[in-house]
Structure 1
């Protein structure tokens, strides 16, 4: 009787490393209690950082040439949505563009349709004068952004040229926001122009 020796199947090193990685990832699980505690701690830390950041914005706007429009449109979204940016880039590198677009566009929709009206309602409850009034620059920026995004993702495809167009649009809005005057400067500019037009009209 011939005994056939037991032979292990030959597995390449790359496949073995992938199997070990999957086994290691499957073992790394967080309990529900730990996840909730981590979420509460992270939310509290984010709230503290946001409070410190908001308190520092007026001082920064007064002692620098950076306008409030640039701070609100460029600096705060980059800092506040850093985690979402990392998530979108990570899933995009894994060739999951639908998920990357969902993360990026979904965040903007959430801010525009949920967070902003909720903040205005909370402002009314707390006695703060807050409205949904946007100046002409903010309105045009919002309209152009929504139009460009809708036009580019309508066909469900993307390429490097469309990505370059999006980056160029973002840079244009950022430059315009950097040189956009604040409310006080707008009032002074409008008042001086209006006075000059009135003087010329009266004097003929």
Structure 2
């Protein structure tokens, strides 16, 4: 399997560059880009696994989520510059839904088929649940409610204030988990991974992760330009593309990594990627984009459409209820996947 992914990478990435420069047919480029991103995702997964063995599941999962979300941040900045505020908000909504329902759901489901009962750090799960509730339910719902009684200028001022608070709290959460309370809430089996031999050294793993991320960023940016043509060909709406398609492709690398970790029964890393990535999107990427939008013609207040907001709140509540016991199985995964499909149908029909 590794040789197949290596072959797809060394063929797909050059073809992506050549096809872009030579203006190949849009549908051909769409397929080449998607295959290349999936192939690069395997390298990001292997690099994450090596880092997790050397540095622990928290740092491994955090680095994977960070590099994965860097792609999303780059694409979103270009979209904001083009004035596509609605598409940016829709794609970030899709990232939250995709990570909490699709990635976690597939991880729980595929891992649960192989292992009847899988455990992960219950303390981390409860800590993350509190942050998820705060980020999505408090920080996203409040601007929506207050914006009803405010003009655009005041709504933007409120969004800026909330964005700054979210970024500061996210940095404080990292400091809490990685510095002041590192190792305080260890799970019983957390020492198991350190007995393994990493495939790559820390330096090589970070180098591969960085190179793969840059390649994914380049291909993803070009892939976004094919969506309009593909949407017209299949009759998809702009909202559906933003919430479902852009989000899945933009996060393909971390999606693959989390599922592979779950299949290997490394649930601490899988959950850290899925939930950690969601927290990073909600508490760092989105607030940063709100602040960056101030430098462009069209600003982006922290106000979502009602379907986007309700979908995010529902997914957070479902994930909190399912993950708070620190255990997972295939049926819980199937429940998360079912919720994702229901929301996907809803956004498709809007």
C-alpha distance after superposition, 1:148-201 (max 9, x if no partner) = 000000111222221111110010011111111xxxxxxxxxxxxxxxxxxxxx
Give 1:51's match in structure 2, choosing from 221, 240, 248.
221
Unaligned runs of 5+ in 2: 1-195
Confirm or deny that 1:169 pairs with 2:346.
no
What is aligned with 2:316? Answer: 146
Q: Report the aligned-residue RMSD.
A: 2.6
Confirm or deny that 1:135 pairs with 2:305.
yes
What is aligned with 2:349? Answer: 179
Partner of 1:128, secondary structure, is: coil
CA change 1:108–1:29 in 2 (3 A) is closer
Deviation for aligned residue 1:46: 2.9
Moved more, 113-122 or 170-179: 113-122
What is aligned with 1:198? Answer: none
Higher RCO structure (Cα 8 Å, ≥6 apart): 2
CA change 1:29–1:172 in 2 (3 A) is closer
CA change 1:96–1:114 in 2 (3 A) is same
Deviation for aligned residue 1:98: 2.4
Return the index of the structure with the highest Cα Rg: 1
Partner of 2:335, secondary structure, is: helix
**Native 8 Å contact 2:224 2:246 kept in 1:** no
Q: What is the aligned length?
A: 155
Unaligned runs of 5+ in 1: 1-24, 181-204
Return the TM-score normalized by structure 1: 0.65
What is aligned with 1:96? Answer: 266
Partner of 2:327, secondary structure, is: coil
C-alpha distance after superposition, 1:101-125 (max 9, x if no partner) = 1111111111111111112211211
**Native 8 Å contact 2:261 2:270 kept in 1:** yes
C-alpha distance after superposition, 1:5-27 (max 9, x if no partner) = xxxxxxxxxxxxxxxxxxxx969
CA change 1:52–1:97 in 2 (3 A) is same
Alignment map for 1:13-92 (pairs within 5 Å) = 29=200, 32=203, 38=208, 41-61=211-231, 64-92=234-262
CA change 1:39–1:164 in 2 (3 A) is closer
